[in-house]
Structure 1
Amino acid sequence: MPDKINLDKIIPELSKDNEEPLEELFNYYYPRLYNFSRSILKIEDGIDDILQEVFVKIWQNRDGIKNTATFNSYIFTITRNLLLNELRSRLNKQSTKEEISKLSVAPEYSLMEQIEYTDLKEKVDHIVNELPQRQKEIFILSRTEGLSHKEIAEKLKISTKTVEYHIALAVRFLKDELKGFGLVSLLYFYLFF
């Protein structure tokens, strides 16, 4: 695992359809992204597939990657969005809810947690529906569909600053509305926001 990487040299080479720089990026970032992914998913199953998709996206968007100073943030944002999509998918499956519950909560609290989770999810869905139409649309594209700010801006033909503004307002509104839900709402926000 390389300790350092020269992004100023590697990134320009990517746009020349040269696969060697992608391999260098993979060797450098894979272990870091793996640990990051594991800290979010808590289980290893599926991480390899997600990370493979990260590097496929890097390759597909290689012509648009110009700023080496923000590349680290860029690759971790792609990973985070894919992880959130995976978490949302898994949380819709009862077996995964039980697996996460076993990892994070003592058995005597698991039934109470399931009830609180269901209540919280219903509350969040209700709050999201109360958002102004444009804000709701942007929030859902970001949090449910996992689109980046740039992708949302392009899709809706608005600026990325407008997207950031609406998401910040939506998240603040949700946090304010969920204050009374305590620890479970913190867990929900850790997973989704």
Structure 2
Amino acid sequence: MEKEMAMERLVLAKIANGDEQAFAILYKFYRNKVYGYALKILQSTPAAQEIVQEVFIKLWLKRVELVEIANFGGFLRVIVRNHTLNALKKIALQQKNYTLLHQNQTEVDTATENSIQYRETKKLLDDAIETLPPQQKLVYSLCHVDGLKQKDVASKLNISPLTVKVHLREAVKAIRIYLDQHHEIKTLGLLLFFLK
């Protein structure tokens, strides 16, 4: 793990200096993870491929800043999630425009509907997190909201990495059960879950 982190830091430093081969290594390592997440949410191969392009173009354009990032995996997850959510909003807007142009039916404000559904789903996830015991809630928040790695959470809380892993596993299990009980918006609940 330490060796992998050292290698990642070295690759990021090379990229910051404009090394295209180092960037190719980073791309090869992370592209399938980015693609898989985007495909799961967007359900569209072209849209997922576009997310991969956008994310890696952004990384290249901001390459100088990469050496300052303490947790690249967490940083990348946030970028991918934001690009995917933006793509979802764009798809919703395109669907709305298509409806307005090609159908003489009652207008459906897809963007508003998605916004309401997003807020409801976010509230449901927040409610699920609130039901967790304090330590599970803290570990889950540090890992999935703040983007810290499990070993960093263990160090921060002065507990063993195994304890962090157990708390995280139990938290995710409890949240999934909570979401299953509210299955009518379970699909969008997965959108907020970045549990890989």
TM over 0.5: yes
Judge conservation of contact 2:142–2:153 (CA < 8 Å) in 1: yes
Q: How many residues align?
A: 162
Question: Partner residue of 2:159?
Answer: 158
Judge conservation of contact 1:150–1:160 (CA < 8 Å) in 2: yes
Judged with a 3 Å threshold, the aligned counterparts in structure 2 of structure 1 residues 180 and 132 are, in CA distance, closer, same or farther, namely closer
Judged with a 3 Å threshold, the aligned counterparts in structure 2 of structure 1 residues 160 and 147 are, in CA distance, closer, same or farther, namely same
Per-residue deviation, residues 127-158 of structure 1 (Å, max 9, x unmatched): 21221111111111111111110111111111
Question: Partner residue of 1:86?
Answer: 79
Judge conservation of contact 1:113–1:184 (CA < 8 Å) in 2: no
Amino acid in structure 1 at the alignment position of 2:33: F
- 1:114 partnered with 2:134: no
Question: Partner residue of 2:45?
Answer: none
Distance in 1, Cα, partners of 2:69 & 2:119: 38
Which sits farther off after the overlay, 23-32 or 102-111?
Answer: 102-111
Any residues of structure 2 matched to 1:55-74 within 5 Å, and which? 56=66
Question: Partner residue of 1:135?
Answer: 136
Judge conservation of contact 1:120–1:181 (CA < 8 Å) in 2: no
Following TM superposition, by how much is the alpha carbon of 1:96 offset from its aligned partner in structure 2, in angstroms?
A: 5.8
Question: Partner residue of 1:27?
Answer: 24
User: Pairwise CA RMSD of aligned residues?
Assistant: 4.4
- Please report the TM-score for the alignment, with normalisation by the length of structure 1: 0.60
- Please report the TM-score for the alignment, with normalisation by the length of structure 2: 0.59
Question: Partner residue of 1:125?
Answer: 126
- 1:99 partnered with 2:100: no
Judged with a 3 Å threshold, the aligned counterparts in structure 2 of structure 1 residues 191 and 19 are, in CA distance, closer, same or farther, namely same
Per-residue deviation, residues 15-49 of structure 1 (Å, max 9, x unmatched): xxx969x9655433424523532443443434334
Distance in 2, Cα, partners of 1:120 & 1:48: 30
